[in-house]
A and B are shown apart, each in its own frame.
Chain A
Amino acid sequence: MSKMHIKMTVNGKQVETLAEPRELLIHVLRERLDITGPHIGCETSHCGACTVDMDGKSVKSCTVFAAQANGADVTTIEGLGGPDNLHVLQEMFKEHHGLQCGFCTPGMITRAHRFLQENPDPTEEEVRFGMAGNLCRCTGYQNIVKAIMAAASEMNAAKEAAQ
């Protein structure tokens, strides 16, 4: 089967690669573009470890064909922050022990980022409902919810200070 040119914007950069239409977005990101932040947990659309932001929506990149993503604007955990410039969410996950093994964390934070764009001042219950597509086998979720609530407060305080 012939490959097609896939052009995307990933973390603000134009990228182009050859891939078969049937390749999954998660494989294109990890294996062709060397963007290994998003993880493969279940590969069956259930765990959310592969969550990336695509055209302003949180999607499970194990359930998107490369061909569908052609032309899309994709953000992964790498686009939110790195070791030298942690995003508030990353900072708060660290602060509040929102991770143990860290496997689910890129998906958690990428999803939480989109969630807080849509609901900047959520209740704890809303956080749990908004994060329901992401599974964690380690933390018991308590500290993940705490970290997201704390990040929301920090982000709102920063917004107020800027005004």
Chain B
Amino acid sequence: MIPGTFEYYRPSDLSEAIKLLTTHGDDARVMAGGHSLIPMMKLRMADIPHLVDLQDIDALRGIEVDGDAVRIGAMVTQHELIADEALFKAAPIIREAALQIADPQVRYVGTVGGNVANGDPGNDMPGLMQCLDAVFSVHGPDGERDIPAREFYEAAYFTAREDDEVLTAVSFKPQSGGYAYEKQKRKIGDYATAASAVLIAKDGATCSSASIAMTNLSDTPIYSQAASDALIGSDLGPDAVSAAVDAALGEIDPAEDGRGPVEFKKHVAGVILRRAIERAVSRA
């Protein structure tokens, strides 16, 4: 389980990292916590002649919560996400989701930037960020641009980020109302058989806004506008919830793997979606 050889770099600022990516093109890749990348390198499924470790770039750290904006630096770890009280107040769904990722050791080093940039459909943060309607900031040789999470994922391991761009932060508005991140997994440390992130706000007894996204039920995360629309304006009663679940299930395309055949995954997806919606409603 030894990866191929590589040249190792640990730049202390972002422009130096981008320069390395520009110079070495396809042969270079950044590393954050390394807990998706190193396993791939050990299996020799990734061969990276020039490895750029981001750990010394302070500009990629820190969680900022101010009034109507939350900004999380790409190198913030899952452990830090869970521990941050201001972030918990602004978006409690993040802690709920992060606690269901991997195990304690992995959460100490796995970063939010690595989790969303990776492009693995099994990662939990992409669906979560689509639910929050987050924006990813990426920096390349030509400067910075923002990409909505809902437009970031193209196919498994293919994203809108260019090879010479570094993802620097994720930003979103604080959430209001009820929330839930529900995940079915075989054991702690496993990726989702199915998972769903749900946000629901009410105006009196009527649903005023809803956002529903899913993890590991297609080759990208899925944000379901149709499922969200099925709830908005409704009384959030059993019929509305069933309509939303059906709409969401209409958008998934799970693949058979060790977690089960397609039929089973669709069944689990239905159960998880219903639980997530009902729990979000109960907290709204």
- Is B a genuine binding partner of A? yes
Contact-residue size bin, chain B (C-beta under 8 Å from the other chain): 20 to 34
Stretch at the interface among B2-10, B175-183, B211-219, B254-262: B2-10
Q: Give the size of the chain A interface in residues (CB under 8 angstroms).
A: 31
Q: How far is the CA of A63 from the CA of B34 in the complex (A)?
A: 7
B251 smallest CB distance to A (angstroms): 32
Q: How far is the CA of A4 from the CA of B5 in the complex (A)?
A: 13
What 0/1 readout, one digit per residue, does chain A (97-124) give for beta carbons within 8 Å of chain B? Answer: 0000000000000010001000000000
B76 smallest CB distance to A (angstroms): 14
Q: Assess A45 versus B106: contact at CB under 8 Å? Given A63-B35, A65-B38, A68-B34.
A: yes
B104 to A133, Cβ gap below 8 A?
yes
Q: Which residues of B contact A131 (CB under 8 A)?
A: 104
Q: What total of A-B pairs shows CB separation below 8 Å?
A: 79
A13 at the interface (CB under 8 A from B): no
Stretch at the interface among A52-60, A77-85, A137-145, A152-160: A52-60
B55 at the interface (CB under 8 A from A): yes
B141 at the interface (CB under 8 A from A): no
A30 at the interface (CB under 8 A from B): no
A51 at the interface (CB under 8 A from B): yes
B181 smallest CB distance to A (angstroms): 16
A8 at the interface (CB under 8 A from B): no
B108 to A57, Cβ gap below 8 A?
yes
* CB-based nearest B residue for A47: B189
Q: Assess A58 versus B8: contact at CB under 8 Å? Given A43-B1, A44-B39, A63-B35.
A: no
B105 to A133, Cβ gap below 8 A?
yes
Q: Which residues of B contact A60 (CB under 8 A)?
A: 105-106
A132 to B188, Cβ gap below 8 A?
yes
A57 to B103, Cβ gap below 8 A?
no
A57 to B5, Cβ gap below 8 A?
no
Q: Which residues of A contact B188 (CB under 8 A)?
A: 129, 132
Top 3 A-B residue pairs of the complex, sorted by shortest distance between their CB atoms: A133-B103, A21-B8, A1-B5
Can you report 16 A-B residue pairs in the complex whose CB atoms are below 8 A from each other?
A1-B5, A1-B7, A22-B4, A24-B1, A44-B1, A46-B189, A51-B105, A58-B104, A63-B34, A63-B109, A64-B34, A64-B38, A65-B38, A129-B188, A132-B188, A133-B105
